């Protein structure tokens, strides 16, 4: 296998994870969690979203979160912004980077943004222009790159069209999201082989949801295609709005396990990461489902059992 030797993990749990949880997590708990994540060796954390609180009340405290977290040297603290008003709010909080977002499919774009794909471009372009003027880098998310919950399968050519426009705007990276977690490696290969005919692999990050258990298999195929940046969520937080209770983003700690075992460097410390996962699990008050957390739970209970028998 031809694999990269180094990969960047972008932690999206505080944004993509928490926005899909029904419970509002107290601002101080979010801040404490992000501070823990900042100490794991991760160098990129998407901390919140400036989408209007009417739509994502879970992240209504984005300004306070960004203003309260400790900023570790070398860590990028990013936030999602939907439009120029969101950007303005984000810029007042010393955000390091922003992300804009849209979908590759009309159905999901309409449902998520209430605009057609063509209507969305100028809105994002305004954000990108203003952010770059303010010396803030912009990342682009493209959702539903494999399939759409409304429109069904999405062709690589349709994704290419959206990618083309975003790249032209000046986003430095495009995160390709299998939003509903249906993708399999053959589809990932088909998508990437189309895109990589036109763009270098370092333009792309992959953003897999593990709804059907295929996320790590898709990561491996992406690595083989030359991708070196992956989004993930501590504890596999996030769920799927289209399959209530299903798995969310691929979990950062399971991704890290696999990458490490394949001798791919990330700079992230597994133990510290798992501690941060247990921290947010307690605050959310529901069991998170990553394999690494499960193993850590068992080791802890085994240690308790051993302590009892001594």
- Please return the burial class of 196, using the count of CB atoms within 10 Å of its CB with bins 0-12, 13-18 and 19+: middle
**For a copy of itself, the closer CB: 3 or 91:** 3
Tell whether residue 303 is a contact of a copy of itself (CB under 8 A): no
CB of residue 245 vs a copy of itself: minimum separation in angstroms? 5
φ/ψ of 241, rounded to 5, equals: -60, -20
Alpha carbon distance 102, 110 (integer Å): 9
* Per-residue binding letters, 232-271, with a copy of itself (x by CB under 8 A): -----------xxxxx---x--x--xx--xxx--------
CB of residue 178 vs a copy of itself: minimum separation in angstroms? 12
Count interface residues toward a copy of itself (CB under 8 A).
42
CB atoms within 10 A of CB 3: 14
- What one-character DSSP code corresponds to residue 203? G
**For a copy of itself, the closer CB: 64 or 270:** 270
Return the residues of window 151-210 that contact a copy of itself according to CB under 8 A: 182-187, 189, 210
**For a copy of itself, the closer CB: 138 or 296:** 296
* Per-residue binding letters, 277-296, with a copy of itself (x by CB under 8 A): ------------xxxx-xx-
User: Please, are residues 9 and 266 in contact by the beta-carbon 8 Å criterion?
Assistant: yes
Which residues does 209 contact at the CB level (< 8 Å), separation at least 6? 177, 178, 179, 180, 181, 215, 238, 240, 247, 248, 249, 250
**For a copy of itself, the closer CB: 114 or 298:** 298
CB atoms within 10 A of CB 308: 7
User: Please, are residues 95 and 78 in contact by the beta-carbon 8 Å criterion?
Assistant: yes
CB of residue 77 vs a copy of itself: minimum separation in angstroms? 28
Q: Give the binding site for a copy of itself (CB under 8 A).
A: 1, 3, 182-187, 189, 210-214, 216-217, 219-221, 243-247, 251, 254, 257-258, 261-263, 289-292, 294-295, 297-299, 301-302
């Amino acid at each position: 296998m031809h694999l990269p030797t180094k990969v960047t993990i972008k932690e999206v749990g505080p944004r993509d994870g928490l926005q899909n949880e029904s419970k509002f997590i107290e601002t101080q708990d979010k801040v404490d969690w992000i501070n823990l994540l900042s100490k794991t060796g991760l160098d990129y954390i998407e901390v919140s979203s400036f989408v209007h609180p009417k739509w994502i009340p879970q992240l209504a405290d984005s300004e306070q979160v960004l203003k309260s977290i400790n900023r570790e040297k070398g860590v990028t603290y990013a936030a999602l912004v939907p439009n120029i008003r969101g950007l303005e709010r984000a810029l007042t909080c010393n955000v390091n980077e922003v992300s804009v977002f849209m979908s590759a499919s009309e159905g999901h774009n309409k449902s998520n943004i209430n605009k057609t794909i063509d209507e969305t471009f100028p809105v994002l372009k305004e954000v990108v222009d203003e952010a770059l003027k303010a010396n803030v880098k912009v990342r682009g998310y493209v959702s539903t790159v494999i399939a759409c919950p409304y429109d069904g399968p999405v062709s690589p050519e349709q994704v290419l069209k959206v990618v083309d426009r975003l790249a032209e705007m000046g986003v430095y990276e495009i995160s390709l999201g299998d939003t509903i977690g249906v993708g399999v490696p053959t589809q990932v290969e088909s998508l990437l082989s189309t895109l990589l005919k036109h763009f270098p692999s370092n333009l792309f990050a992959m953003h897999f949801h593990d709804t059907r258990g295929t996320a790590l298999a898709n990561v491996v195929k992406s690595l083989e295609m030359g991708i070196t940046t992956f989004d993930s969520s501590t504890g596999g937080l996030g769920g799927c709005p289209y399959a209530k209770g299903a798995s969310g983003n691929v979990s950062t700690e399971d991704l890290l396990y696999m990458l490490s075992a394949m001798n791919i460097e990330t700079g992230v410390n597994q133990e510290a990461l798992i501690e941060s996962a247990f921290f947010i699990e307690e605050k959310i008050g529901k069991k998170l489902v990553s394999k690494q957390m499960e193993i850590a739970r068992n080791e802890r209970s085994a240690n308790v059992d051993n302590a009892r028998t001594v």
